[in-house]
Amino acid sequence: MNYQQKLIELGIELPAPAAPAGAYVPVVQTGSLLFVSGQLPTQQGQLLYTGKLGRDLDLPAGQQAARLCAINALAALHAHLGSLDRIARIVRLEVFVNSAPGFTGQAQVANGASNFLHDLFGPAGRHTRLALGAAELPLNAAVELALLAESAAP
């Protein structure tokens, strides 16, 4: 499958990957597994979604934030692999949602990323997932997402 062409069909251009904001690397590969560090909903270096879901942001905004985090994770994978066509499957998503007290829609927020990955990768985009509420996230980001993927043989 040509995932770059599919991105074009979906109207998405991958950004340059975000530079690490601490003492970590964007992607670690061990064997065929690719671990992507937490990604925030940034675009062109600007944090687009801040605040708590259920207080400052509604569910559709949270879903868009999660989708943007997934796009940023793919940008990191693309930089590491040279091509998204080297991805065999998405294995796991971990989605952390900056949640106001009483907000319980974390799974629905995470669907913004999950649905996007399924749209792009088809069956290879179906994954296991963890969606959690967090009291605070870095820079007051609304969502943070980490991703585990499997690479195909080169």
Identify the residue with better confidence: 18 or 133.
133
Give the mean pLDDT of 119-128. Answer: 97
Confidence of residue 14 (pLDDT cuts 50, 70, 90): very high
| pLDDT, position 63 | 98
Residues 6+ apart with CB under 8 A from 40: 18, 47, 69, 72, 137, 138, 139, 141, 143, 144
| pLDDT, position 153 | 75
| pLDDT, position 86 | 95
Give the mean pLDDT of 64-88. Answer: 97
Q: In whole numbers, what is the pLDDT of the chain averaged over residues?
A: 96
Global confidence as pTM: 0.96
SS3 of the chain: CCHHHHHHHCCCCCCCCCCCCCCCCCEEEECCEEEEEEECCEECCEECCECCECCCECHHHHHHHHHHHHHHHHHHHHHHHCCHHHEEEEEEEEEEEEECCCCCCHHHHHHHHHHHHHHHHHHHHCCEEEEEEECCCHHHECEEEEEEEEECCC
With a cut of 90, say whether residue 154 has pLDDT above it. Answer: no
pLDDT digits (tens, 9 = 90+) for 96-121: 999 999 999 999 999 999 999 999 99
| pLDDT, position 42 | 97
In CATH, the architecture of 3-12+34-151 is 2-Layer Sandwich (3.30)
Cβ(107)–Cβ(73) below 8 Å:
no
Confidence of residue 150 (pLDDT cuts 50, 70, 90): very high
With a cut of 70, say whether residue 1 has pLDDT above it. Answer: no
